[in-house]
Structure 1
Amino acid sequence: MVRELKEVQGIIFKRQKYKEADLLAKIMTKNDGIITLIVKGALRPKSRLSAATINFSAGTYVIYTNGHGLSNLRTYKEVKQFDGLYQDLTKNAYASFIFDLIDHAFVEYQPLGRYYDLAMFALKKINDGVDSEMITQIVQMKLLSAYGVEPQLAHCVICGKEKGIFDYSIKMGGVICNDHFGVITSRMHLKPKETAVLRTIGLLPIERLGTIKISEETKKATRKAIDRIYGATIDLNLKTKKFLDELKLF
């Protein structure tokens, strides 16, 4: 496949040293998926490319690519930093975990579709000071489908009831109404409000999600529930998650 110069819009979210003065930088793009870029000379003093590839830099990048394997970053246009993330360790940790989750759900150059918009939504909200933990929970619930896990949140998986009191069953693959609480031993025994939060953040489009105000107790319970769902259905062992745990955020 012939290499070509191409402009991509995206967000740099991971970088590491490569050879003596070069970097490898991962960029999440809107139309071309996740790409690993070689950034030549980025570690040399006064490198323009280094400043443009700081984590959570967003903009237009000109790359040399053939659509697979490593691509080369040639130059950039209109790059901006999300300063709120760059300057705040906690925000940075949440954002890094979110992008790591999305990264592991796709192979390189696989179009991300709506999940790119989800990443941008999360980045902007966390940068602006919106509850980072709640934004992360929203992303996790919506990202389950990218991993092939499609929990039924709209109605009871047994009888189809859409309104009432619900619990969640990992084994059943979604919510069950209280008509079946006595017979479904695999349910998680969440409080009705906790299940309601999971349903809301999983079902509502991101553009309709306003400010979600829930108690710290409920937030902690939904965090544990989401961790259990991920632990039982998706085999992940992410360093970014461990780092969050070490910060005692979860």
Structure 2
Amino acid sequence: MARELKEVQGIIFKRQKFHEADLLAKIVTQKNGIITMIARGALRPKSKLGASLLNFSFGTYVIYSSGQGLSNLRTYKNVKQFDGIFNDLTKNAYASFILDLADHAFIEYQNIGKYYDLLFYALQKIDAGTDPEMITQMVQMQLLAAYGVAPELRHCVICGKEQGEFDYSIKQGGILCSQHFYVDSARLHLLPKETAVLRTIALLPFERLGTVKINSATKKATRKAIDRIYQETIDLNLKTKKFLDELNLSM
């Protein structure tokens, strides 16, 4: 496939040294999905490319690409950075996990559509100081669909009831109303308000991310619930998640 010069808009989220002076960087883009770029000579003192590839930088990158494999970074325009995330360990940990989660949900060059907006908005909110734990839980719940395991949260999976008390069933793939709790003895046994939070953050338009405020006990319960949902349906083993968990334990 022929290489062509193209401009992509996106967010840098991983980088590593490649050979003596080159850099490999991953970027999540609006229209071209996740791309791995090679920046030749980016680590040389006089190169300007390296500064544009710091994690949580975003802007326009001009690349040679064939739509598969490595793309070559030629230059960049209007690159800025989420400084609040870059300079804060906790924000950095949450943002890294969010982008790592997205990286595992899609193959390279796959158009990720609305999920780019979700990710960008989430980073904006974390950068600005909105509770990163709550933002991360929202992204986790909304990314389940990208993994092909979107739960049914609008109504009971058995009878379709939309109002009342509910619990979450991993086995049934969604919520159960109180009349059908007996269907799954291994349901998560959440309090009604905890299930309500899971429903809200999964169904909330991303433009309203950060508007949900809950107490620390509920937030801890929903975090444990989401962790179980991911473990039992997707079974990822991400270093960014392990680091985030360690960070939370030490706080």
- The bucket for the TM-score relative to the shorter chain is over 0.9
Larger mean Cα displacement after TM superposition, 201-210 or 30-39: 201-210
Match in the other structure for 1:181: 181
Shift of residue 185 of structure 1?
1.0
Give 5+ residue unaligned stretches, structure 1: none
Number of residue equivalences: 250
Distance in 1 separating the partners of 2:169 and 2:181 = 10
Alignment-mate amino acid for residue 65 of structure 1:
S
Return the TM-score normalized by structure 2: 0.97
Equivalents in 1 of 2:21, 2:170: separation in Å? 48
Cα separation, 2, equivalents of 1:213 and 1:91: 18
The answer for the alignment partner of 1:15 in structure 2 is 15
**In 2, distance between residues paired with 1:43 and 1:27?**
18
Unaligned runs of 5+ in 2: none
Query: 1:73 aligns to what?
Result: 73
Aligned counterpart, 2:170: 170
User: Does 2:228 align with 1:228?
Assistant: yes
- 2:190 counterpart residue number: 190
Identity %: 74
Query: Residues 145-183 of structure 1: CA distance to partner in whole angstroms, max 9, x if unpaired?
Result: 000102000000011000111000000110001112244
Cα 1:183/1:128, change in 2 over 3 Å? same
Question: Are the counterparts in 1 of residues 131 and 210 from structure 2 also a CA contact under 8 Å?
Answer: no
Q: TM-score, normalised by structure 1?
A: 0.97
Say if 2:166 and 2:192, in contact at 8 Å, map to a contact too: yes
Residue 128 of structure 1 aligns with an amino acid whose one-letter code is: A
* Mapping 1:96-115, distance limit 5 Å: 96-115=96-115
What SS does the aligned partner of 1:181 have? helix
Residue number in structure 1 paired with 2:242: 242
Query: Closer, same or farther in 2 for the Cα pair 1:61/1:158, shift >3 Å?
Result: same
Paired residues for 1:124-203 under 5 Å: 124-203=124-203
Aligned to 1:52: 52
Letter in 2 for 1:202: A
Higher mean displacement: 240-249 or 30-39: 240-249
1:87-117 superposed Cα distances (whole Å, 9 cap, x missing partner): 0011011000000000001110000011111
Supply the AA of the counterpart residue of 1:86: F
State the partner residue of 1:218: 218
